[in-house]
A and B are shown apart, each in its own frame.
Chain A
Amino acid sequence: MTATNLTAAPATPATTIPAGQPSFRDLVRMELRKLRYRPMTFVIFGIMAALLSGLMAIGYIATRVSERPPGVSLDQDVQSFLFPGVFQDGFGIIGGIGAILLVVIAAAVIGSEYSWGTIRVLVGSGVPRARLIASKLVTVALVTIALTLVGFIAFTVTSVGIAIFGGHTLDMSWLNGSTAIDLLLMFVRTIFILFVSAVLAFTVTVFSRSLAAGIAVGIGFMVFEGIAVGLLGLMGNVGETISNFLLSPNMNAISELNYIGERTWSSDGLPDPWRAAALLTAYTVAMIAASFWIFRRRDVSSGG
């Protein structure tokens, strides 16, 4: 028996606690505390780091042991695992894996509150609903940044390891003011793309009040949209026009800009990056507005 008797001590504290609203910063801090103490957060960050490092290591080993075309050296063949070529693929993998992982976190940030019933505690405490949901969205944005950073550290460390243990030159001559800005832009683009996926999952969760629905729709959308884009591609111009309004072609249009040095591929068929950025921004703003609208208006309760 670990619970003891209620004490006869006065329940009123010696000093007065002022009745007031928490600041926005308090709310974000609360959300971050919840994530910090939640094992799922570390599992997801761990998966991100492990998958990135693992995929790179396996890819490197496979490349190393496979036969190369005549005239292609090992150093040329493994450029995508070394600086600066690694950044293209590294951020690409972050965009792919990160989107799935972020869908889970973004849905959990709001969906778990519904599953555990703690949404009643939060809303019933009197915090304005708009402030509450805004703090959750800011938390999702901060997690997006942190996850991208973890991915970046993982593939950078792995790349250094590959260079050292693979007997390659750790070339840093590519790093200058211009490439540093490129690198920063790669960060920003990746975070932006990931945030769109996170907001989609967040919005679905707010609407459905279900963590499972948020995750399922968030991940399902990525899978089925990919299939839809493929099918639309078979329909000619009409299909392409429709496809250009979907999320993934626009995300691809932005992530295709992620490179340092010489660009070795074509972005034919993808929407214009500026148009893509504008469209994704519009979608994100619309989803956030819808989340705010429904969360502020809808009843939070059930029962007798």
Chain B
Amino acid sequence: MSAQITTPRTNGRPVRRNKRRRERSAEPIIRADHLTKRYGAVTAVDDVSFEVRRGEIYGFLGPNGSGKSTTIGMLLGLVAPSSGSIGLFGKSLDERDETLPRVGAIIESPAFYPYLSGRRNLRVLADLRPGVTDKRIDEVIEIVGLSGAANRKYSEYSLGMKQRLGIGWTLLHDPELLVLDEPTNGLDPAGMAEVRHLILQLASEGKTIFISSHLLNEIEQVCDRVTIIQRGKLIAEGWVDEMVNSEPRLLVRVDAPERAEDIVRGLLQGADIVIDDNELMISAEGLRPAEINAALVNAGIGVEELHTIQHSLEEAFLDLTNNAEQEVPA
């Protein structure tokens, strides 16, 4: 009896399809090189290096207090590195007067003047961006979906509306690079989906996007590459699809699990197999589902179900951060 190999899934939720890797140039837009920030005895960012290339959506992941905002602070000239360097558009931090006007950023959380309306906030801050017209302000308000609330005071905005205004501010001068620190914080699921679409749209228009977030599903859905930091140290960097596809597992439901285990062990040396009732969860390098299916069927074992289960980014993240936790002495 042969079972159909079904669409891969991750523990009950639809699996993230491998995205086509976005067109990008080799031109580095952000380059952090052995970046370190110390506050007295505390090292907030410890020897972090990464590179973001033009056209990428780059995720910057880490638990709270891991050094994400400090790194972004150094990127935007808010915080001076203790050592190492961070450059934008191929230029050093010393040339930030020239490079930062090409960046739109939300840092930590959206911050605006509470006594002004959303529109007036953008009008006032537009003085920082020469060439931004009232028409552009209206355009941006429409893009972020705040047309109906543009004349309400910022202090009366919900967190989601504040986030939208923050995104509007980053778009105001049509920057080449967007730095978004937790851009979907406070948004409802529909709002989060809209922001994801906007990010993908901006990337399709040629923008480079650097997103810091602890919402792994969000990063997984939009980012091309990610860096994961913990306790200020970089613990992983790579393509999102490689991270989630690393060591996929195979779930097989059969009518003779013990026999099935022997057959699978014969096929995959060193496979990690966990049996739960009639299910086998197989983890191994070079899983070959079709071959396993054929071997089981040829042995007369009834295969009722067979799925590959990919790691979600969350699982990859937890694995990496747990491993790093174990390596760090208490």
Assuming A8-B197, A117-B111, what are 10 further A-B pairs, CB within 8 angstroms?
A2-B161, A3-B164, A8-B201, A17-B131, A19-B175, A21-B130, A26-B128, A33-B123, A125-B100, A126-B103
A17-B132, A117-B109 known; A124-B127 Cβ under 8 A: no
Q: A304 to B329: give the CA distance in the assembly, Å.
A: 21
Q: A275 to B161: give the CA distance in the assembly, Å.
A: 56
**Inter-subunit contact A301/B79 (CB<8 Å):** yes
A37-B120, A301-B79 known; A5-B102 Cβ under 8 A: no
A299 at the interface (CB under 8 A from B): yes
Chain B contacts of A117 at CB under 8 A?
Answer: 108-109, 111
Interface size for A (C-beta < 8 A) is: 48
Chain B contacts of A19 at CB under 8 A?
Answer: 101-102, 173, 175-176
Chain B contacts of A5 at CB under 8 A?
Answer: 145, 190, 194
Interface residues in chain A, defined as those with a beta carbon under 8 Å from any beta carbon in chain B? 2-13, 16-23, 26-27, 29-30, 33-34, 37-39, 116-118, 120-128, 297, 299-304
Nearest-CB residue, chain A, relative to B111: A117
B34 at the interface (CB under 8 A from A): no
**Inter-subunit contact B127/A22 (CB<8 Å):** yes
Interface residues in chain B, defined as those with a beta carbon under 8 Å from any beta carbon in chain A? 62, 64-70, 73, 76-80, 96-97, 99-103, 105, 107-109, 111-116, 120, 123-125, 127-132, 136, 139, 142-149, 152, 158, 160-161, 164, 169, 171, 173-176, 190-191, 194-195, 197-198, 201-202, 205-207
Residue in contact with B77 in the complex, picked from A9, A17, A123, CB distance below 8 Å: A123
B221 → chain A, closest Cβ, in Å? 16
**Inter-subunit contact B78/A300 (CB<8 Å):** yes
Chain A contacts of B145 at CB under 8 A?
Answer: 3-7
Q: A37 to B130: give the CA distance in the assembly, Å.
A: 21
Residue in contact with A303 in the complex, picked from B108, B132, B144, B147, CB distance below 8 Å: B108
> Could you list some 5 contacts between A and B, CB below 8 A?
A2-B148, A34-B124, A116-B113, A299-B73, A304-B67
**Inter-subunit contact A9/B142 (CB<8 Å):** yes
8 pairs of A and B residues whose beta carbons are closest in the complex: A126-B100, A117-B111, A30-B127, A2-B149, A304-B65, A301-B73, A124-B76, A2-B148
**Inter-subunit contact B101/A34 (CB<8 Å):** no
Chain A contacts of B96 at CB under 8 A?
Answer: 126
**Inter-subunit contact A11/B69 (CB<8 Å):** no
**Inter-subunit contact A6/B80 (CB<8 Å):** no
Chain A contacts of B120 at CB under 8 A?
Answer: 37
A32 → chain B, closest Cβ, in Å? 10
Q: A118 to B111: give the CA distance in the assembly, Å.
A: 5
Q: A299 to B146: give the CA distance in the assembly, Å.
A: 33
A19-B175, A120-B107, A301-B107 known; A125-B129 Cβ under 8 A: yes
**Inter-subunit contact B143/A304 (CB<8 Å):** no
Q: What number of residue pairs across chains A and B have CB atoms under 8 A from each other?
A: 174
Q: A150 to B41: give the CA distance in the assembly, Å.
A: 52
Q: A6 to B183: give the CA distance in the assembly, Å.
A: 14
**Inter-subunit contact B64/A18 (CB<8 Å):** no
Q: Which of B171, B174, B175, B205 has the most CB of A within 10 A?
A: B174
**Inter-subunit contact B101/A20 (CB<8 Å):** yes
Q: Which of A2, A12, A118, A124 has the most CB of B within 10 A?
A: A124
**Inter-subunit contact B197/A6 (CB<8 Å):** yes
**Inter-subunit contact B136/A6 (CB<8 Å):** no
Q: A27 to B127: give the CA distance in the assembly, Å.
A: 7
Chain A contacts of B66 at CB under 8 A?
Answer: 304
A4-B145, A6-B194, A299-B73 known; A20-B205 Cβ under 8 A: no
Q: A124 to B180: give the CA distance in the assembly, Å.
A: 12
Chain B contacts of A301 at CB under 8 A?
Answer: 69-70, 73, 78-79, 107-108
Q: A4 to B103: give the CA distance in the assembly, Å.
A: 26
**Inter-subunit contact B205/A10 (CB<8 Å):** yes
**Inter-subunit contact A124/B143 (CB<8 Å):** no
**Inter-subunit contact B79/A299 (CB<8 Å):** yes
**Inter-subunit contact A120/B111 (CB<8 Å):** yes
Chain B contacts of A122 at CB under 8 A?
Answer: 128
A38-B115, A126-B101, A303-B69 known; A6-B108 Cβ under 8 A: no
Q: A22 to B97: give the CA distance in the assembly, Å.
A: 11
Residue in contact with B201 in the complex, picked from A2, A4, A11, A29, CB distance below 8 Å: A11
B209 → chain A, closest Cβ, in Å? 11
A37-B116, A304-B66 known; A17-B174 Cβ under 8 A: yes
**Inter-subunit contact A6/B205 (CB<8 Å):** no
A146 → chain B, closest Cβ, in Å? 19
